[in-house]
């Protein structure tokens, strides 16, 4: 096992994430400008599509990191049956769910039941389709709807906070089913689908448009919330959540044909066609 992976196992992941959360919200101008400048230059962040293109105009590093895009910067491709990317980033893996198992990396997979923390709900996706999108620090960090849908349930699943960068994903078994995550179940006229937002080390929060801040607090047990009857209906391409720091989004559908041109490391953007139901 790599030394860096051993360190992640030993590190106080949630304590470190709490420290980062506080540090990224400090509004002292020299501090927040220092953090913003380091990320902009290290990752060559393109601010041309941002609603506020001046990176130093944000009140805090977190405000910069969760920045919005200018109106019209992203559009959903195709029609109501087109599955579109929920985030800007890179494809980690994409393809068919095989007998209830999802490909994590070459030689590694994990179960839908483990990801959802719900064997019964997982049966719907036993032979479905999936797409895993990794968000790097350079990417836009808001999550959008892959399809039209009504939220029926959210499940906050406790877990670790391993890094979801490519190397740990290749090295750590069942990573996406081990990390803390928010699983969102939707129903659409064309059937159910899932959007799972996976936390990671130094990722200090997940906020949804319907419920506000969900993480933190970090879960001690599985927390389910029934949203039936609340009228949380979102259109394909609409914003649904945001990561405060970067992570991974996984989309599951019971069926569908994914674009064969998509391969690991393919760059995708919000609204880009991933496939069709």
Secondary structure of 20-42 in HEC code, one letter for each residue: HHHHCCCCCHHHHHHHHHHHHHH
First-to-last C-alpha distance (Å) of the chain: 40
- Average pLDDT for residues 59-73, to the nearest whole number? 95
Q: Which residue is catalytic, options 60, 88, 156, 204?
A: 88
Would you call 138 a catalytic residue per the annotation? no
Q: Which residue is catalytic, options 144, 154, 185, 204?
A: 144
Whether the per-residue pLDDT at 204 is higher than 80: the answer is: no
Whether the per-residue pLDDT at 230 is higher than 90: the answer is: yes
- What's residue 3's pLDDT? 79
pTM of structure? 0.95
Would you call 247 a catalytic residue per the annotation? yes
**Region of poorest pLDDT, from 17-21, 32-36, 55-59:** 17-21
- Average pLDDT for residues 249-256, to the nearest whole number? 96
- What's residue 1's pLDDT? 66
Would you call 144 a catalytic residue per the annotation? yes
C-alpha closest to that of 69 among 12, 7, 139, 129 = 139
Whether the per-residue pLDDT at 5 is higher than 90: the answer is: no
């Amino acid at each position: 096992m790599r030394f860096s992976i051993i360190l992640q196992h030993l590190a106080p992941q949630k304590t470190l994430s709490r420290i980062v959360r506080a540090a990224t919200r400090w509004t002292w101008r020299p501090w927040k400008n220092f953090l913003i400048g380091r990320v902009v230059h290290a990752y060559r962040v393109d601010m041309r599509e941002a609603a506020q293109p001046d990176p130093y105009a944000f009140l805090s590093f977190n405000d910069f990191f969760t920045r919005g895009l200018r109106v019209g910067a992203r559009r959903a491709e195709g029609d109501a049956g087109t599955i579109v990317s929920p985030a800007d980033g890179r494809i980690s893996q994409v393809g068919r769910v095989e007998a209830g198992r999802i490909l994590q990396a070459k030689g590694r997979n994990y179960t839908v039941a483990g990801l959802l923390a719900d064997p019964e709900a997982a049966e719907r996706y036993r032979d479905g389709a999936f797409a895993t999108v990794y968000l790097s620090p350079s990417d836009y960090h808001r999550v959008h709807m892959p399809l039209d849908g009504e939220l029926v349930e959210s499940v906050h699943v406790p877990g670790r906070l391993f890094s979801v960068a490519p190397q740990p994903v290749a090295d750590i078994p069942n990573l996406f089913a081990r990390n803390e995550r928010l699983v969102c179940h939707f129903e659409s006229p064309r059937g159910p689908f899932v959007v799972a937002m996976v936390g990671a080390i130094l990722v200090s929060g997940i906020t949804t448009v319907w419920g506000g801040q969900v993480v933190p607090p970090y879960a001690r047990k599985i927390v389910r919330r029934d949203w039936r009857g609340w009228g949380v209906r979102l259109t394909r391409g609409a914003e649904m959540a945001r990561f405060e720091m970067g992570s991974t989004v996984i989309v599951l559908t019971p069926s569908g044909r994914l674009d064969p041109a998509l391969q690991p490391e393919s760059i995708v953007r919000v609204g880009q066609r991933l496939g069709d139901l």
